[in-house]
Amino acid sequence: MDDLRSVERIVSDDEKTKISAKNVQVYYGDTHAIRDVDVEIADKTVTAFIGPSGCGKSTFLRCLNRMNDTIDICRVEGDIRIDGEDIYDKRVDPVQLRAKVGMVFQKPNPFPKSIYDNVAYGPRIHGLAHSKAELDEIVEKSLRRGAIWNEVKDRLDAPGTGLSGGQQQRLCIARAVATEPEVLLMDEPCSALDPIATAQVEELIDELRQSYSVVIVTHSMQQAARVSQRTAFFHLGNLVEFGETGQIFTNPTDERTESYISGRIG
């Protein structure tokens, strides 16, 4: 089955770069959490970040939508551009940026509101809908994108917190998708889910690739192999290796990558 998938996984050479990060350093107070990271993330592909826990995957992911700004002691240096525009430029409003770069978290975190209001939250804040009908349409489209519409269409007024873990995570994906982002960041989106829910979310990620550039952090190498076209391997705050997923898993160039993949570190 994996083999079939890798046949599907054709990465065209003329793909365009969505995010480019150069020489990124991140500090938490005095700890240097990310060192000299250079990454180019392509549009309409799934990029996976793998590595042992504590190596800085989440930290780097959070640089891409400036969520690290919400942590007082965190300091980011370097050059990160989305579509060629420096996102750490003074003129960029991080709030605006986050509307463009959606994020899904490790633990499903629906708001204590109805399913409808959860999804409508982003569009309402950003004024994306001009009428109730338009908002309904956005909500429905997003829930369909999140592959959860059929399960919740009859109970849009029920609280989002009453759904099962897997449904909650798909609701959160729908919520992130509703603001029409260009990039979707996912930080271990399946780590709190059972295998069936995980399979559903993975399927969803593969579909989302049609419209977005997806970056997913995962500690499961099988998952990275299943859903991503490109994989970046982090180790102790360094980006060790970055390349096509098939190549990273079958023929890694760095011995640390090889040890990790064969289960000797992490």
Ligand X SMILES: Nc1ncnc2c1ncn2[C@@H]1O[C@H](COP(=O)(O)OP(=O)(O)O)[C@@H](O)[C@H]1O
By CB under 6 A, which span of 35-43, 54-62, 190-198, 224-232 interacts with ligand X? 54-62
Cα distance between residue 228 and residue 49, in whole Å: 9
Q: Does 218 bind ligand X (CB under 6 A)?
A: no
Beta bridge mates, 79: 22
Q: Which DSSP string do the residues of 199-215 spell out, in sequence order?
A: HHHHHHHHHHTTTSEEE
CB of 209 to other proteins, least distance (A): 20
According to the binding rule CB under 8 A, does residue 107 interact with other proteins?
yes
Q: Which does 210 bind (CB under 5 to 8 A by kind): ligand X, other proteins, Mg ion, none?
A: none
Q: How far is CA 118 from CA 1, 108, 241, in A?
A: 36, 12, 38
Does 228 contact ligand X by CB under 6 A?
A: no
Of 51 and 189, CB closest to ligand X: 51
Q: If you write DSSP's letter for every residue of 174-232 in order, what string do you get?
A: HHHHTT--SEEEEESTTTTS-HHHHHHHHHHHHHHTTTSEEEEE-S-HHHHHHH-SEEE
Q: Please, which of residues 41-80 interact with Mg ion by CB under 5 A?
A: 58
Question: Which lies closer to ligand X via its Cβ, residue 161 or residue 238?
Answer: 238
Q: Which stretch binds ligand X (CB under 6 A): 56-64, 150-158, 175-183, 242-250?
A: 56-64
Binding site for Mg ion (CB under 5 A): 58
